[in-house]
Amino acid sequence: MLIAGPAGAAPLDEKLQIDIAFVAHSRPPSPPFVIDPPPPGEGFAGARLAVQENATTGGFLGQNFTLTDVELGEDDNPVEAVKALLDKGVRLFVVALPADEALALADAVRPVGGLVFNAEAPDDRLRGVDCRANLFHTAPSRAMLADALAQFLVVRRWSKILLVSGPGAGDALFAEAFRASAKKFGLRIVAEKPWTYGPLARARSDAVTEADALTFSRGIDADIIVVADEADDFGDYILYRTSEPKLTAGTQGLTPTSWHPTHTAWGAEQLQNRFVRMSNRRMRPVDYQAWVATRAIGEAATATRAADPQKISAFLQSPDFNLAIFKGAPASFRPWDRQLRQAILLAQPKSLIGMAPQPGFLHQRSTLDTLGVDESESACKAKQETR
């Protein structure tokens, strides 16, 4: 006798196949002066751990999870790379790709009902004017990261900011996000300085000191320097090299992040240990974000007992979905832009300093919605699709 599940679900004695693909570019070898280079398999390792965890519950329900690693070369097109998988029926994609490529992949798989989970790109436009109904985000947006930092500065009453941004496109976007956060939470940017001294953080330790770089903050009455340096070219150089003693935060120094090796509360230590046993290295933010995406797929497939991407999508955006992600509060997806609600850690290299939302920051729906773009401010017009 067949025991039927929810409408459209597989009977319990039939094997339900849930196929997931992880798509990312291979990491090129880092120069010798990079102290903490991205490891091979970054992101995929997190997804692999999540598939193992999905299988623990799924095995009892007759569900079989598979994970395919699509490793792209530097110039490979992800849309072309997944065509063979689409032909085989794969419709669920976790990606660690730049914004434009994640967007192109979401558009390419949409006609066949595919879903894409962005585990890397922080670009706010992917949650705004360029959002897609089939594109979910487990990577925090720059707005969320900047808001987390701004809340911490407000609580500390470090309200006068010197903002230093580099020449990269990501630097400009992070600086833009922090300006918006400063306005939102009442911080004052007393001065802005472009970084024009080159990648001094990557210089040899015996390189000639750049005297101008040591005095760029002189005479500015600021409590803290916020740096926008997503390429790691100069942010670490600033620490202890300014003419007056200044704290540093942003992309270096005190950084807002989804995950950190020193985070051990709320069961996070167990997740850290499982990852280390599997991968022989520590979990990094992209690993964590890919783990969350793959676990979310698993939770949705378990709850709906279905592999249909549209059923998974609908469940993820429903009030019934929440996911334990080891940060004190269960995560859920914002239905207006499909961004994962999550707490943001604030850490320096070897110490966890705090977590946002900070106490006292309230919201009518969820304190997690104090981080990032709220529904009334969202430029996303892509609504949930039903097929």
User: Do 197 and 234 touch, CB atoms closer than 8 A?
Assistant: yes
Nearest residue to 216 via CA among 163, 290, 279, 272:
163
Residues 135-174: tens digit of each pLDDT: 999 999 999 999 999 999 999 999 999 999 999 999 999 9
CA dihedral 192, 198, 201, 203 (to 10 degrees): -160
Q: Average pLDDT in the 30-42 region?
A: 82
Nearest residue to 346 via CA among 274, 278, 247:
247
pLDDT at 290 over 70: yes
Q: Count CA within 13 A, CB hemisphere, residue 155.
A: 15
CA dihedral 354, 360, 364, 370 (to 10 degrees): -40
pLDDT at 1 over 70: no
What is d(CA 13, CA 120) in angstroms, rounded to the nearest whole number? Answer: 37
- Of the given ranges (158-167, 226-235, 292-301, 355-364), which has the lowest mean pLDDT? 355-364
pLDDT band with cut points at 50, 70 and 90 for residue 206: low
Nearest residue to 43 via CA among 69, 63, 20:
69
What is d(CA 192, CA 190) in angstroms, rounded to the nearest whole number? Answer: 7
- Encoded tokens for 91: 């419709």
Residue 354: strand, helix, or coil: strand
Higher pLDDT, 214 or 371: 371
Buried b (16+ CB within 10 A) or exposed e, 208-246: eeeeebeebbeebebbbbbbbbbbbbbbbbbbebbeeeb
- Give the position of tokens 């509060």: 329
What pLDDT shows up at residue 384? 60
Nearest residue to 30 via CA among 40, 20, 21, 19:
40
Q: Average pLDDT in the 213-231 region?
A: 94
- Specify burial of residue 71 (Cβ count, 10 A radius: 0-12, 13-18, 19+): middle
What pLDDT shows up at residue 82? 98
- pTM > 0.85: yes
User: Do 125 and 323 touch, CB atoms closer than 8 A?
Assistant: no
- Encoded tokens for 303: 């709850």
What whole-number percentage of the chain has pLDDT above 70? 94
pLDDT at 204 over 90: no
In sign, the C-alpha dihedral spanning 92, 284, 237, 222 is: positive
